[in-house]
Amino acid sequence: MISVIILGTGNVGTHLITTFLVSKNIELVQVYSRKESSLKFIKDKVATTTKVNGLKEADVYIIAISDDDIPEFSSRIAGENKLIVHTSGSASIHALKNDGNKGVFYPLQTFSKKQSVDFSTIPICIEAENEKDLLLLERLANNISNNVFIIDSEQRKRLHIAAVFTNNFVNHLYKMSYDICKEYNIPFETLHPLIIETAQKVVTNHPKVIQTGPAHRNDTKTINAHLKLLSGEQKEIYQLLTESIKKTYGAKL
């Protein structure tokens, strides 16, 4: 049995709490939040605290707070024998300033408190300063996920950038598509099958192989027609992505 304390009740922390509570091989010892109100949803399920100096003993302390707060917060956790890890995709392992051992336990997924997730499918990227702690984090991760990867801080920084392109930027383009549909009274649901098909294809194919569209085939007539219908930021982004696709596939500019 691996004992764990979660520090933070944001999106990531909340999902880890929910997952650890139902795991047979993990004991969720305690949950910390600086706000008492943030702990109400688990008051009857696990010990809670709003004081860093009130933390119990555990094998792993998982900090799930904003990246900027990690250094100062971790420095307040006393104990040379404690293994402290954070869940950030972009922060280095060296962002941790505790006296004890350091590590990373990064679940690569987009989290919202109200949206349930299946942790068994979520990649968990781990890192530690020594082999013993790495093996412990690997055991912990394997208890909740079927996809565990040993990724160091430099790799994780690049992975996080790739994740931003894959999720955040793509979602922003969905938002732009939604705006266009709404402006002209078109149900956004008409695009749902296209969204799903594209996502499914990229899972089993190289993205370059499945690229389609007017920029890919250098369809200048269609591109110009689209540009006439667009303005402002939408037009700028359409042009930028069109040029990037044309350069990638060798189309003449």
230 or 78, which is more confident? 230
Enumerate residues 6+ apart whose C-beta is below 8 A from 188.
177, 178, 181, 182
Residue where a domain stops, chosen among 102, 127, 151: 151
For residues 162 and 120, membership in a common domain is answered with: no
Residue 115 has pLDDT above 50, yes or no: yes
* pLDDT, average across residues 81-95: 94
Question: Are residues 177 and 141 part of one domain?
Answer: no
- For the stretch 32-53, pLDDT in tens is 999 898 898 888 899 999 999 8
The span from the first CA to the last CA of the chain, in angstroms, equals 61
* One domain for residues 134 and 12: yes
Residues 138, 41 share a domain: yes
Instruction: Tell me the per-residue pLDDT of 120-156, one tens digit each, with 9 for 90 and over.
Output: 999 999 999 999 999 999 999 999 999 999 999 999 9
Structure confidence at residue 251 as a pLDDT band (50, 70, 90): low
Same domain, 147 and 161: no
Q: In this structure, is residue 11 part of a structural domain?
A: yes
User: Do 40 and 56 belong together in one domain?
Assistant: yes
Residue 146 and residue 44 in one domain: yes
* Residue 195 resides in a domain: yes
Domain tally, the chain: 2
Average pLDDT over residues 219-232: 95
Quick one: 208 and 114 in the same domain? no
What local confidence, expressed as pLDDT, does residue 222 receive? Answer: 96
Residues 243, 136 share a domain: no
CATH number, domain of 84, equals: 3.40.50.720
Neighbouring residues of 176: CB distance < 8 A, sequence distance ≥ 6: 234, 237
User: Among 117, 151, 185, where does a domain finish?
Assistant: 151
Distance CA 192, CA 153 (A): 36
**What CATH number does the domain containing 185 carry?**
1.10.1040.20
3-state secondary structure of 106: strand
Domain boundary among 151, 183, 199: 151
With 70 as the cut, is the pLDDT of residue 252 above it? Answer: no
**Domain-located, residue 253:** no
- Are 51 and 141 found together in one domain? yes
Clarify whether residues 57 and 180 are in a common domain: no
State what percent of residues in the chain have pLDDT above 90: 86
Q: Which are the contacts of 52, defined by CB distance < 8 A and separation ≥ 6?
A: 32, 73, 76, 77
Give the pLDDT band of residue 253 (cuts 50, 70, 90): very low
Do residues 21 and 130 both lie within one domain? yes
Is position 99 within any domain?
A: yes
Work out the average pLDDT over 88-107: 94
Backbone angles phi, psi at 47, to 5 degrees: -65, 145
**Could you tell me if 238 and 227 are in contact, meaning their C-beta atoms sit under 8 angstroms apart?**
yes
d(CA 200, CA 188) in angstroms, rounded, equals 19
Domain of residue 231 covers 156-248
Alpha helices in 95-252 (DSSP H): 131-142, 153-163, 170-183, 192-204, 220-229, 232-248
Query: In this structure, what token pair is assigned to residue 27?
Result: 């004991």
- The C-alpha atoms of residue 214 and residue 229 are separated, in whole angstroms, by 15
